[in-house]
Chain A
Amino acid sequence: MKLKSAFGILALVAIAMFSSSSAVAHHAIQAEYEMDQTKGFTGVMTRFAMINPHCRWFFEETKADGTKVVWEMSGAGPGALRASGLVRIFQIGQPYEVTFAPAKNGANVGRVRTMKGPDGKVITLFHEDPTNPLNN
């Protein structure tokens, strides 16, 4: 399934990220992820889920030896993506270069930092300044 780009219809609705209770129920992000680390992979996006409290992107990475690795990336809440016009830009079945903060428990789960899609455009989903470890 290919989702059309929404760049042209960026409706910057003033929806506060913290206006819904779902958005304020979060655990501290550092309780789940190694926020001072950045890892990456290239994989095919298999699913994009607009769910609370965090949207999820699922990928399948094919290693050099042919083995498959399934990744689950977490990001902002649905409200934030809606407010930023990012609902329909993700292309299922297409390869993405992903950088992320890895899960502390070693699972194939991460807090997404950037996604570079087949069109070469980089989508950054993070807090304040993704290069500043103090802003994690």
Chain B
Amino acid sequence: MMRRIRTSTVLAGVLGAALWLTAADATMQQGGAAKPAGPTPRVADGKVDFSGMWVNTGGGGDIKPDESGNVTVLSRGRPCHPGQECKPAINFERDSGVRQRLAYGTNVPLYKPEYWAKVEYNDVNGNFVDPEINCYPDGLPRIGAPSKIVQTANELILLYASHNQFRVVRLDATQHDPIRSQDLTYFGDSITRWEGDTLVIESIGFTDESWLGWPGYLHSNNMRVVERVTRNGNQLTWQFEIHDPEVLMQPWTMTPLRRVLNANPKAMLIEDLPCEARDNKHIVTRERG
């Protein structure tokens, strides 16, 4: 019997709000409905040039002191559709939890039955076992699309704002390195090929200590990640396909991530600051958010 892993902690009473939040997240994830602008730049050999700062949509940072100099920072907890009046969250943290758990919609990994209990355990106990909350790197694919790409004649240098991480993908690597492909890392060892204007990056050699996503989606250290990267003018699309027959019933093609070029030539990556897992020793309940 096949069934998709479902979390057991989502309450029916919040389903409507959850679907709304999911839709809002999907909009954010896909970078909105804006049409691509400008030509697609190419390097000397005619291949697509992915270089640039790539940003997601978002808001925040909207404060100013009052006449007495007092400062109030009240985080907006609920994303809004464009043009929609953004009402305050009913409960910021619980909204956040619902949004993250259901952000995948119906597109979730299909696990072999012997892994159902482990995934559910990860989800229920995420406050304590989520690698991210313990300040471990996200790894692929959870880290998502890079914040900045520097493309040279034979390399893509991918810079991630999260944890100040970098990754180097060789554009002339057609076979895995025999040593690195057997390593246990968060980004793996990558080879590349072009399918038309789509750059395909295949990576193996992963640790099994990272997750595919927030709801406890585990993977094995034999996972193979296929990334398909396309650029259309000022828009970037990054898609992950997860091949892990050890734990998955079938490959999982994740919802594509869309990013928009930051056209400001002076835009800089902001340094991420150290992560300290100081909350863990004080968390009492399993409620995630």
Residues of A near B287 (CB, < 8 A) are 27-28, 30-31
A123 to B285, CA, bound (A): 29
Expressed in whole angstroms, the Cα–Cα distance for A97 and B286 within the complex equals: 31
Are the CB atoms of A136 and B93 closer together than 8 Å? yes
Instruction: Give the Cβ gap from B162 to chain A, nearest Cβ, in Å.
Output: 4
Interface of B is mostly: loop
Cross-chain contact A135 with B275 (CB below 8 angstroms): no
Of all chain A residues, which has the CB nearest B70? A122
As a 0/1 sequence over residues 33 to 76 of chain A, the CB contacts with chain B under 8 angstroms (1 = contact) are 00000000000000001111110100000000000000010101
B163 to chain A, nearest CB (A): 7
Report how far A24 CA is from B99 CA in the complex, Å: 10
The reply to whether A134 and B91 contact each other, CB–CB distance below 8 Å, is yes
Residue contact A135 to B89, C-beta cutoff 8 Å: yes
A129 contacts which chain B residues (CB < 8 A)? Answer: 74, 88
From B56, B162, B214, name the one whose CB has the most chain A CB atoms within 10 angstroms: B162
Indicate if A16 sits at the interface (CB-CB under 8 A): yes
* Residue contact B70 to A123, C-beta cutoff 8 Å: yes
Task: Give the docked Cα–Cα distance between A18 and B92 (Å).
Answer: 12
Q: Is there contact, CB below 8 Å, between A14 and B59?
A: yes
The 29 listed contacts between A and B (C-beta, < 8 Å) are A12-B61, A18-B60, A20-B161, A20-B272, A21-B132, A21-B138, A25-B130, A27-B133, A27-B288, A30-B93, A31-B288, A32-B284, A51-B274, A52-B272, A53-B133, A76-B73, A79-B270, A80-B60, A80-B75, A105-B282, A119-B69, A121-B65, A122-B71, A123-B72, A124-B72, A126-B75, A127-B75, A128-B75, A135-B92
List residues of B whose CB falls within 8 A of some A CB: 56-65, 68-77, 88-94, 96-97, 100, 126-127, 130, 132-133, 135, 138, 142-144, 161-163, 214, 270, 272-276, 278-279, 281-289
